[in-house]
Amino acid sequence: MYGFKVNRFHLLAALAPCLILHASTAPAPAPGDRWDRIRGITLGMIEDNRWNIKGYGTSGSLWALEEAAALGADWTSITPYGAMISTDDVEVIPYFEYPPEELEERVRVTIRQAHDLGLKVLLIPHIYPWDWSWRGQLRPAGGSDEGWDRWFASYEDYLMGWADVAAVERVEMLSVGVEFKTASWRFRDRFALIAEKVRDRYDGLLVYSANWDEVEEVGFWDRVDVIGLNAFYPLSALEDPDPEDMMRTASDFADTLGYLARVYGKPVVFTEVGFKSLTASYREPWIWPEDIAEARSDDAMQALLFDVTFATYWPRSWFGGLFVWKFLADPADDTQEPDFGFSPRLKPAQDVIESWFEHGPVPAQ
């Protein structure tokens, strides 16, 4: 169909010595009997009040979920947005563009659509500052004690609302936060208390979605069930890396994650992992497509990077699975990102993802 298709078994054969050298032989942490290796697709939210564009809770989101299930996914993540004026603000606003009541109802409908298709659901309430600063740099009221107190009170209210939704809709997993890098160690006791309060309302699995360079600093991994991270880490600093170099980088990072998994006795799950269709997308995968000044589209690179990621992590006993970032909540909508963006839909990367979802881990030779 595309004139190109990555054969992941060819890549694995070429890099088998690297896999054998680095793969963990330790027994897997016991995550309980409520889920197996996650084959997940993030259903990326679409909201644009200017043009009355909606994704969740529509025929478009059902279409996208049907496609995810056809790829072999057994989980989807749903990511409603809350907002802040900026990272200096002390208040979490429980909506992004549409009224909170409408957002909640559309999320509920999407959860039901997923469950009707046999998909399990990870609910990840996000916070996006309206000035597009990064939530990993929170400093409410300049980082004062009073500012943090007010922020935590507001954030707890926001999260508890989604915990109630997760409980009623029988969501299988809930994220208690996303990329709060400036707070996840310093305020570990407060996040631990929030996790405890969530458990009073919700009996599913809890995860925290750390940034990739935050995961070692999180101070409350003992209070959640799953070590989660958004795995947008650089796979090489070279100008023209080969797959073996990227595998070495990924394997080094995997060794760190494997250590965390053994220390805490919990599986590691990539709550987000994705790559743009660009030649240099291995270097800074976290950069948003709209921030790319000079784009060199490269569908083959996106496919290769997914292949490297699966080949590195899928065979490891402590790895609990991943959520591909991202498939949009309306496949017909082309306003959210350019063709070289994160979506692997109808690109060679889709074939790679489907192949790994279908065949699963490759046993060590």
Q: Report yes or no: 51 and 87 within 8 Å, Cβ to Cβ.
A: no
**Which tens digits make up the pLDDT trace of 279-306?**
999 999 999 887 887 778 999 999 999 9
User: In the predicted model, is pLDDT for residue 364 greater than 50?
Assistant: no
207-240 per-residue burial string, b: 16 or more CB within 10 A, e: under 16: bbbbbbebbeebebbebbbbbbbbbbbebbeeee
CA distance 259 to 318: 9
Bridge partner residues of 77 (DSSP): 42, 122
Q: Report yes or no: 76 and 68 within 8 Å, Cβ to Cβ.
A: yes
Per-residue tokens: 279 = 């030649």
Pairing of strands 75-78, 38-44: parallel
What is the value of pTM for the model shown? 0.90
Q: Report yes or no: 289 and 298 within 8 Å, Cβ to Cβ.
A: no
Per-residue tokens: 26 = 């330790």
User: In the predicted model, is pLDDT for residue 194 greater than 80?
Assistant: yes
Confidence of residue 31 (pLDDT cuts 50, 70, 90): very low
Q: Looking at the domain that runs over 8-359, which CATH code has it been given?
A: 3.20.20.80
CA distance 157 to 164: 11
Positions of E strands within 8-124? 38-44, 47-48, 53-54, 75-78, 81-84, 120-123
In degrees and rounded to multiples of 5, residue 289 shows phi and psi of -55, -40
**Which tens digits make up the pLDDT trace of 137-188?**
999 999 999 999 999 999 999 999 999 999 999 999 999 999 999 999 999 9
CA distance 42 to 51: 23
CA dihedral 19, 25, 26, 28 (to 10 degrees): 70
Bridge partner residues of 321 (DSSP): 38, 269
- Provide DSSP, 324-362: EEEEES-TT--SSS-TTSS--TTSHHHHHHHHHHHH-PP
